Amino acid sequence: MLHKVLEIRNLSNTTYALRIERKKVSFKAGQCFNLGLKNSGVNREYSIYSGENDSCLEFLVKEIKEGIVSSSLRQVTLGEEINLHGPYGSFVIDPVQIKQVKFYFICTGTGIAPFHSFIRSHPNLDYQIINGIRFLNERYDYDEYHPLKITTCISREKWAGFHGRLTNYLPEIPIDTKSIFYICGNQKMIQEAYVILRKKKVSGNHIFTEAFF
């Protein structure tokens, strides 16, 4: 399906938010879509960044220098059509649990995208984000999160908050094992975070993962 590009928001040198027309697309927060240039035949998978009730579709994209799709999409002219296929995936929230438990969203880099979608879609969600990034300028759209509900771990730049990797921070904090944990980011982080949570006696049934390669 073809959708017009409405806006490209440059968030850092390497990351941008791509907004396209929604048409009649229906999705669940946390699902993903395949995006690509019109008639290119090459698509890449991106998690939805916008909320279920938003008028447009938005995606948080990290530009890869050698990447065909991520670099090309950043250069698209406003009004140009791109390919969209989906939605796909089961990295979603059980609506019954929203009123019953607290959610921890553990992520690195653009892995925060599905959690942004969760929070926009479910305003009454009881959540805590633990976000691992390299530099201060990778705090994407932080004004949309409650300041007391997001913790940032910065590994390559010293600042007033926690300096180090997310997986260095996670073992130091108390964990409510009744909470539900969603982890999204690179595979290595996911594996390490999963092991940490299991050592803290979190049930494997309370941990859900989505890998960004």
- 54-87 pLDDT tens trace: 999 999 999 998 889 999 999 999 999 999 999 9
The predicted model gives 36-51 an average pLDDT of 94
The predicted model gives 34-48 an average pLDDT of 94
pLDDT in tens, 79-132: 999 999 999 999 999 999 998 999 999 999 999 999 999 999 999 999 999 999
State the pLDDT at residue 213.
60
Number of neighbouring beta carbons within 10 Å of residue 196: 18
CATH numbers and ranges of domains, the chain: 2-88 (2.40.30.10), 97-211 (3.40.50.80)
What are the residues whose beta carbons fall under 8 Å from the beta carbon of 24, sequence distance 6 or more? Answer: none
State the pLDDT at residue 65.
83
Distance CA 38, CA 33 (A): 15
The predicted model gives 17-22 an average pLDDT of 98
pLDDT at 194 exceeding the cut of 90:
yes
Distance CA 93, CA 208 (A): 10
Distance CA 205, CA 179 (A): 11
pLDDT at 23 exceeding the cut of 80:
yes
Distance CA 172, CA 101 (A): 22
